[in-house]
Amino acid sequence: MDQNKKGGQMRLWGDNLPDITSQIAPLTIDVVDLPLSVTKDEIAATFSIDHDCITLKRERGKKSASAIIVLPSWRESDVILCDYVDGVCLGNQRALLKQSHDSDASQPSSEHYKPHKLSSEEFDLSPACNGQPTLHVLNDDILLHIMKYLNVAEKLMLEAVCRRFQSLVYRELGQNNVIDFTDDGCVWRSAHSKLSTCRSKSPAQLTQDLKLCTYKMLIMNANHLTTLRLDEYRCIFDVNVFAAIGRLAVNLEDLCLQFSSERKHYTPIKTIFSRCTKLKTFCLEGRFDTDDLLQDLQQCKCLEVLRLGRVWNFSWELLSKLKTPLKELSIHNIEFFYFNPLMKRECHLDFAFNSSLTTIRMFNHADSHPGEIRLGETLLSFMAHKCPALTQLQLDCSWYYAPPNFKPFNNLKVLHFIASDHDKIEVLLKSALPDLEDLYIEFSREKVYDMHLLNEVLAIDFSLAPTSVTSLTLPSVALDDNSYKNLLRMPKLQRVFVKSKKFSMAQLKL
């Protein structure tokens, strides 16, 4: 795992984690607005599924029928929800598909799991009738010390024993303002991981246990929770869990969601956006279309930081409809969007939040060229004009129609660019602003691979860089001795970060 603080992204690299979607129960799909005359065989033929997976419902007085589909696996459910996101025509009607909500009985409310504040008077602390001491004679501090030897899953089992144990478990696991699954020390991440590695559970039981663990996590920390970072490799993401987050985490300010790389469909998050009115930072990575996501985001009125990665078919038009005082916009590794400056410029950067933007990050390390963000002088000039408060800019400059010019950015202090070759680095250095303070130079994935393969060392003339630079970062760039000499002559340079197997301290003593 890697949490890239510099790039402003929560990077879980989930492709290297075991995927629980193959272990959990399939999603239950509701199909509504079906013709009254429709049959199971017609529905089965439309979706190419077995008719035994379908329960057809017709209610007296209704003008349309409905159906419930339960497929053999989660992935088959995922494919259906993805392929028919806009519905399907049956007869003369368009039927719509959505994931079913769980029954109320399987969604514990915060009232039901409300922690109890117990006084010592509520317990009989005297010895049992046979003269032997009971567990209740031990005070809370001793019991809490014993509980330290239990893992989270065991504590959650203990919580169900009695009201006193429940209160003690809440003291141990509750009142957190941060729950971060990217942190190895997160006790709730440990609890979910232990559940998902239990091979003896049936898919239905594992699904219910994972949801219940998530609900308890939210309930125990509801009033305190301000930061929540979850991934689908350890817990379940569905409409029920998102509804619970929206209902319980009312003080949430920072939310990061890492969806499984296997997922194809988007699960609506608008219940979170509409209820968590204090939400300021939202980060999401997932491989699905963004249209519904960007429409749901319109519920956010106070959002200041938006970070999206690895999504498909990014829509600039829908992004322009956000009415929020956004300060940071980060878009990376987008699949299948083409940033073309020859199109109408208003399609790209004519946003309601332009005047408040201080940070823009647009970069792409994807292998497929259709997703590359292509730059041109017209686009950069337009960006500088529309975003006057911009102080930080991160761009993939490995593909551009003409050498980019950063001179129009009057207030730019931090520049992070990705180049495809060393000669383009010098072009970019020449175009940087004279009062730039922080410079981050990176190569494209293809260039880094070629450098390592050819054992290549680069020569870069850092005398072309602005003299105002105080911090320089060079990940995966191997330089020759003369380049380091030029680098050390930069008059205001205070910090240098180098990540190269060929680097040695001797090069800084030349």
Task: Provide the pLDDT for residue 242.
Answer: 94
Task: Provide the pLDDT for residue 232.
Answer: 92
Strand, coil or helix: 222: coil
Residue 374 has pLDDT above 60, yes or no: no
Q: Are 24 and 203 in contact (CB under 8 A)?
A: yes
Taking the alpha carbons of 312, 317, 323, 325 in that order, is the dihedral positive or negative? Answer: positive
Task: Provide the pLDDT for residue 366.
Answer: 45
Task: Provide the pLDDT for residue 255.
Answer: 97
Residue 406 CA to residue 395 CA, distance in Å, equals 11
| Helix/strand/coil percentages in the chain, nearest 5 | 35, 20, 45
Beta pairing partners, 285: 258, 309
Residue 386 CA to residue 380 CA, distance in Å, equals 10
502 or 362: which carries more pLDDT confidence? 362
Model confidence at 2, pLDDT cuts 50, 70, 90, reads very low
Residue 348 has pLDDT above 90, yes or no: no
- Our CA dihedral for 261, 267, 271, 272, rounded to 10 degrees, sits at 0
What mean pLDDT, rounded, does the chain reach?
81
How much is the pTM?
Answer: 0.85
Neighbouring C-beta atoms of residue 288, cutoff 10 Å: 23
Alpha carbon separation from 10 to 1, 89, 329, 330 (Å, rounded):
10, 40, 14, 11
- Residue 428 burial class via C-beta count within 10 angstroms: exposed 0-12, middle 13-18, buried 19 and up: buried
Phi, psi of 75 (to 5 degrees): -65, -35
Task: Provide the pLDDT for residue 130.
Answer: 62
Q: What are the tens digits of pLDDT across the range 444-474?
A: 777 788 887 888 888 888 888 899 999 998 8
- Our CA dihedral for 444, 446, 448, 454, rounded to 10 degrees, sits at -150
Residue 132 has pLDDT above 80, yes or no: no
Average pLDDT over residues 1-27: 60
Residue % of the chain over a pLDDT of 70: 80
Residue 455 CA to residue 373 CA, distance in Å, equals 29
Residue 128 has pLDDT above 70, yes or no: no
Which among 328, 386, 385 is positioned nearest to 362, based on CA atoms?
A: 328
Average pLDDT over residues 97-110: 74
Q: What fold is seen in the domain 28-99?
A: Alpha-Beta Plaits (3.30.70)
Q: How many CA atoms lie within 13 A of 13 on its CB side?
A: 5
Residue 272 CA to residue 249 CA, distance in Å, equals 9
**Strands (E) located in 310-429:** 328-332, 359-363, 392-396, 414-419
Task: Provide the pLDDT for residue 6.
Answer: 41
Question: H or E stretch including 285?
Answer: strand 281-285
Structure tokens at 101: 């909500």
Residue 174 CA to residue 180 CA, distance in Å, equals 14
Residue 391 has pLDDT above 70, yes or no: yes
Average pLDDT over residues 136-144: 83
Q: Are 226 and 178 in contact (CB under 8 A)?
A: yes
Range with the poorest average pLDDT among 173-187, 188-202, 220-234: 188-202
Q: What are the tens digits of pLDDT across the range 35-92?
A: 999 999 999 999 999 989 999 999 888 889 999 999 999 999 999 999 999 899 988 8
Task: Provide the pLDDT for residue 343.
Answer: 45
Beta pairing partners, 415: 393, 439
425 or 472: which carries more pLDDT confidence? 472
Taking the alpha carbons of 278, 280, 284, 288 in that order, is the dihedral positive or negative? Answer: positive
Q: Are 258 and 12 in contact (CB under 8 A)?
A: yes
What is the 8-class DSSP label of residue 209?
H
Task: Provide the pLDDT for residue 140.
Answer: 84
Which among 488, 478, 479, 477 is positioned nearest to 510, based on CA atoms?
A: 488
Task: Provide the pLDDT for residue 131.
Answer: 61
Question: H or E stretch including 89?
Answer: strand 88-90
Q: What are the tens digits of pLDDT across the range 242-267?
A: 999 998 999 999 999 999 988 999 99
Helix axis angle, 163-173 to 152-159, nearest 10°: 150
Domain ranges of the chain: 28-99, 106-125+137-258+280-288
Model confidence at 369, pLDDT cuts 50, 70, 90, reads very low
Residue 441 CA to residue 418 CA, distance in Å, equals 6
Q: Are 56 and 63 in contact (CB under 8 A)?
A: no
Residue 414 CA to residue 361 CA, distance in Å, equals 11
Strand, coil or helix: 271: helix
